[in-house]
Amino acid sequence: MVTTSKTLALTFILITLTSLVLLTAEPVTSQSIPKPPVPEFNAKLISPPEESQSVNRTIQLSINNQPSFSDYGFFYMVRARINDGNWSLLYTIDNVPAKSSGEYTVFSYPSDGPVVEYQYYLGDRIENLFAGDKVDFQVQAMIGSIHRVYNPNHTSQLDMYPYVFSGEVSDWSNTQTITIPDGSISSPAPDPTTAKTTSTTPTSPDAESPSNILLVGITIVAVILALSVLFIIRRKKPSG
């Protein structure tokens, strides 16, 4: 029985060490990824047609797509500041939008219903924008992967396996500025890129990506560890 207990204890240690190595391993090494060039984009404010009787507007960013690298993910991070305040990222790392197919990637940030038309949905943020407010935008290209890692200093279960980005990022682009007009509505100017643009929505990491497969493996390892400890405890109990 002593030999069995020692064997199980050694197995427990080996499985734990293996799990830690897998968790700290990154699926992509930044040294193998080229740094993407600075993105070019245009920002504009789209007003509804006069006949619609609507006061809601949409802020639209049209990004000129860059060449993709088939082995890696390609994402665009956006940040904004209001009235020359502090810059704020519009997306969390697990919700960064991926580049769409086609010549352009288009992000649309609409205002809300007729009662709160001043409330704009900027990515993961909600901002109240009124007449005269100035909003600056910048875009950053990201090539690599988004995955979970083990955080040994976690304080809660949510912080145990946070999402991180591994790869290369570009410098921030030049600034494009939108100024919120007053309540008068005018028809939007024709958009020369309308026929060529492809809208995209924020995407979560692929459900079948290596990071999620790794999480399944971690869950299996945790179950094995729990059963091993339970077996050791039961073997050590004196027979009654």
59 exposure class (CB count in 10 Å sphere: 0-12, 13-18, 19+): buried
Q: Model confidence over 77-122: pLDDT tens digits? A: 999 999 999 999 999 999 999 999 889 999 999 997 656 788 999 9
Spatial distance between the Cα atoms of 78 and 95, rounded to a whole number of angstroms: 12
Cα angle value 64/30/215 (rounded, 5°) = 100
Least confident piece of the model among 8-17, 83-92, 114-123, 226-235: 8-17
Contact residues for 227 (Cβ-Cβ < 8 A; gap 6+): none
Whether residue 126 is found in the same domain as residue 225: no
Whether residue 96 is found in the same domain as residue 39: yes
**pLDDT value at 37 more than 90:** yes
Cα angle value 194/196/200 (rounded, 5°) = 85
Whether residue 14 is found in the same domain as residue 78: no
pLDDT value at residue 232: 62
Whether residue 76 is found in the same domain as residue 164: yes
What percent of the chain stands above pLDDT 90?
40
CB 140 within 8 A of CB 88: no
CATH number (domain holding residue 86): 2.60.40.10
Whether residue 50 is found in the same domain as residue 142: yes
Whether residue 82 is found in the same domain as residue 198: yes
- Classify 105 as helix, strand or coil: strand
Q: In terms of residue numbers, what domain contains 220?
A: 1-28+206-240
Whether residue 213 is found in the same domain as residue 231: yes
Most confident of 12-16, 65-69, 101-105, 158-162: 101-105
pTM, to two decimals: 0.63
Spatial distance between the Cα atoms of 73 and 10, rounded to a whole number of angstroms: 39
